[in-house]
Structure 1
Amino acid sequence: MKAVQATRFGDPAALAVVDLPDPVPGPGQIAIDVTHAAVGLIDLFGREGLFRDRPGMPRPPYVPGLEVAGTVRALGDGVTSFAAGERVVSMSATGTGGYASVYIAQAPLVVSTEGYDLDPALAVSVVPNAAMAHVALTRIAHLAEGERVLVHGALGGFAAAFPGIAKRLGAARVVGSVRPGKLSAAATTKLPYDRIVDSTGLPDTLGDERFDVIVDPVGGELRTRSLDLLAPGGRLVAAGNASGDWDHRLDSNRLWLGGISVSGFSAGAYLPTHPEAIRPALDAALAAVAAGLGDTELDVLPFSAAATAHERMHSRALNGRIVLTPDPQ
């Protein structure tokens, strides 16, 4: 099979297309012929070596990628709920392996898209993230019907999944925030935000408006300013660090004084110990995307342009998601 391999820690030039043996599914696994693999910020962090000292994290050479779409190639022992040729989307249990023409998935992390008229590039871009948004909103933020939600980095790959899921869960209002350079794109987005504002003006931009749930995949100083936007009893979900500010800290005294809470959410940390959350989340995500609540901007590049994809991700020169597809043979 063809695969994009991170040959070392470092810059995007570390990514190279290589030939690897076709993998075979083991018990409880599914082999997928990959048509599309989504590129995520976590892929960049891994390639750069930011997590190199954490136990269990991949070390070169390895294949990045944690979200794929394609068709079922073969079933491992014990897998009976899928059929060869069936169109599917899968998340990764390890955060790796997606940038390849054949991918081995754990069956519980796979959802069929048969019966839905979905572009596989859109499906892989939104369904896994929407599933994680569902987990974050239901099990971490405990979003209740009628509550108000604020999502930072509103057009980003992960953030873009939240408004549709929040609406389907009964949120009364969903507001997004973006950097000034993203405001023109925000004005034309199809994502179901009620309003998108300039994040640099927060909290003043929103006047007296307060939120029950804030989703923050950005981090840094914006996370601190977000505390002023939480209503009493409000919950902030720290769901990433796109700012790159790894030294930022919060004043815990503000939590008890304001009657608010801050919780972290990482799919890689949460899902292995809460596998029962996966299936309902995938089903809810697929329904939301099929209803048109996840339409986001897409750019599809070949495996051979993986380094370019990572460069664009690093520069934040996109307003949606980049997807890789195997080069024509």
Structure 2
Amino acid sequence: MHAIRLYTFGPAENLTYEEAEDPLPGPGQVRIAVEAAGVHLLDTALREGMQGPLPEPPALPSIPGREVAGVIESLGDGVAALWLGKRVVAHLGFAPGGYAELAVTDVDRVHEIPERLDFAQAVAMIGTGRTTMGILQFTELGPDSVAVIPAAAGGIGTLLVQYARGAGATVIGLAGGPEKTARVQANGADLAVDYKDPAWPDKVRAFLGGRAATVVFDGVGGDVARAAVDLLGPGGQHLVFGWSGEGLQDGAAYVVEGVTEQVLGPVMMRKAGGPNPVRTLELRALAEAAEGRLTPAVQRFPLAEAAAAHRALETRGTTGKVVLEP
């Protein structure tokens, strides 16, 4: 098979496209002929060998990637024959191996892909969609809600815009540059504004006509988040789930009187509950997509161009979920 291998921590150029040995499924495992592999911002941090609030960097050499979709083409001992040939999607956990033409995982991790989804969309929902479902546990959206969504052209932002609109909320989507703001508008936002324009908060206030925002879905941090939080009224919520605008390890605590701030992370899993909360959220995400309520945005790169995909993600030059296709 062909795969992306990392021999040395560092820049995206360290990702090498080469031939590798085919992995073998062990007991209780399946081997998937990969049609799409998800790329996450966390992958770029692990590639650099970053420490901190992250999993341990992988042992090198390593094949990165933790989200795959494809067709099961080989079974390990103890796996029912009915799985052979199934279209499936799986999150590999923190075991690497996704950036490849073949990937192995436990059969308990896989989900059948709903008919209406292609492989890349399924990858988006198993990772980005799962996180979106986790975030949405912490707020109730309805016709009286005003949701401000920074990074609204991103993978999570795209889904949050769709969900909020479906709930009847007023949706303010923020994105960088005219191309991304046009995408946000087309995705259903009531107002899409360019956060690179220093006057964007005034444009939002003018549009709202005296109404205050009720919730900010913050995956960005930094000055954009600070200005967004200032739009909240008493009783508003600031839900923090990332810091892409400030770096993964920088905080985003902006104390505003009357506003509740929650920094989400492991608490999303605890709230989902059940014996396998990760799988609970994955199933919710796939169900939303299967019913047509959520449609993920996907940006596709050939597997051989994984380095270009990493660079684009790190420079915020992507829209939607980044996916590699062998």
Q: Under a length normalisation based on structure 2, what TM-score does the superposition of the two structures give?
A: 0.82
Aligned residue number for residue 150 of structure 2: 152
Partner of 2:23: 23
Q: For 1:203 and 1:18, locate their aligned partners in 2 and report how far apart those are by CA, in whole Å.
A: 48
Write the deviation string for residues 167-190 of structure 1: whole angstroms up to 9, x where unpaired. 55x35233311123444533663x
Bigger shift: residues 116-125 or 19-28: 19-28
Does the CA-based 8 Å contact 2:36-2:324 persist in structure 1? yes
* Residues 188 and 142 of structure 1: CA distance in aligned 2, closer, same or farther (over 3 Å): closer
CA–CA distance in 2 between the matches of 1:154 and 1:81?
42
**2:190 counterpart (162, 187, 194):** 194
Q: How big is the shift at 1:300?
A: 2.9
Q: 2:202 aligns with which of 199, 204, 207?
A: 204
C-alpha displacement of 1:37: 0.8
> What displacement does 1:295 show?
4.0
Q: Does 1:227 align with 2:229?
A: yes
Deviations 1:132-189 (A, max 9, x none): 2011211xx2435444432210111232222334455x35233311123444533663
Once the two structures are superposed, the pairs formed by residues 28-177 of structure 1 within 5 Å of their partners are 28-51=28-51, 56-76=56-76, 83-94=83-94, 96-114=96-114, 116-138=115-137, 141-146=138-143, 147-167=145-165, 170=167, 172-177=169-174
Quick one: distance in 1 between partners of 2:262 and 2:321?
Answer: 27
> Which is worse superposed, 317-326 or 152-161?
317-326
In the TM superposition, what is the alpha-carbon distance from 1:96 to its structure 2 partner? 2.9
Letter in 1 for 2:147: V
**Residue 65 of structure 1, CA deviation:** 1.6
Partner of residue 286, structure 1: 286
1:185 is aligned to 2:187: no
Asked whether the equivalents of residues 117 and 290 of structure 1 are also in contact (C-alpha less than 8 Å), the reply is yes
- The number of residues matched between the two structures is 319
Match runs of 1:301-312 below 5 Å? 301-312=301-312
Distance 1:56 1:79, change over 3 A: farther
Amino acid at match of 2:221: G
**Counterpart position of 1:215:** 217
Distance 1:6 1:192, change over 3 A: farther
- CA deviation after TM superposition for structure 1 residue 84, in Å: 0.9
1:289 CA drift (Å): 2.4
Q: 1:49 is paired with a residue of what secondary structure? A: coil
Give the share of equivalent positions with the same residue, in percent.
29
Which amino acid in structure 1 is aligned with residue 92 of structure 2? S
Alpha-carbon displacement from aligned partner over 1:75-124 (angstroms, at most 9, x marks no partner): 4556559611111111231163210122223444422115x132222222
CA contact (8 A) 2:68 2:89 kept: yes
Q: Is contact 2:89-2:111 (8 Å) kept?
A: yes
Is the contact between residue 185 and residue 319 of structure 1 (CA under 8 Å) also seen in structure 2?
A: no
Range that drifts further, 307-316 or 177-186: 177-186
By how many angstroms is 1:54 displaced? Answer: 5.4
**Residues 290-312 of structure 1: per-residue CA shift (max 9 Å, x gap):** 34454455443322211122222
* 8 A contact 1:143–1:213 mirrored in 2: no
Alignment partner of 1:36: what SS? strand
TM-score normalised by length of structure 1: 0.81
- Helix, strand or coil: the match of 2:69? strand
Amino acid in the other structure paired with 1:240:
G
Q: CA 1:6–1:64 in 2, change beyond 3 Å: closer, same or farther?
A: same
Q: Which has the larger displacement, 128-137 or 100-109?
A: 100-109
Q: 1:245 to 1:13 in 2, by over 3 A?
A: closer
C-alpha separation in 1, matches of 2:91 and 2:21: 21
Distance 1:122 1:20 in 2: 26
Quick check: 2:62–2:96 contact (8 Å CA) kept in 1? yes
Counterparts of 1:112 and 1:3 in 2: how far apart (Å)? Answer: 24
The amino acid of 2:203's aligned partner reads: T
Q: 1:68 to 1:117 in 2, by over 3 A?
A: same
Q: Spell out, residue by residue over 1:182-236, the C-alpha distance to the aligned partner (whole angstroms, 9 max, x if none).
A: 44533663x3433322224453332144333322111222222232233333332
Find the counterpart in structure 1 of residue 8 from structure 2.
Answer: 8
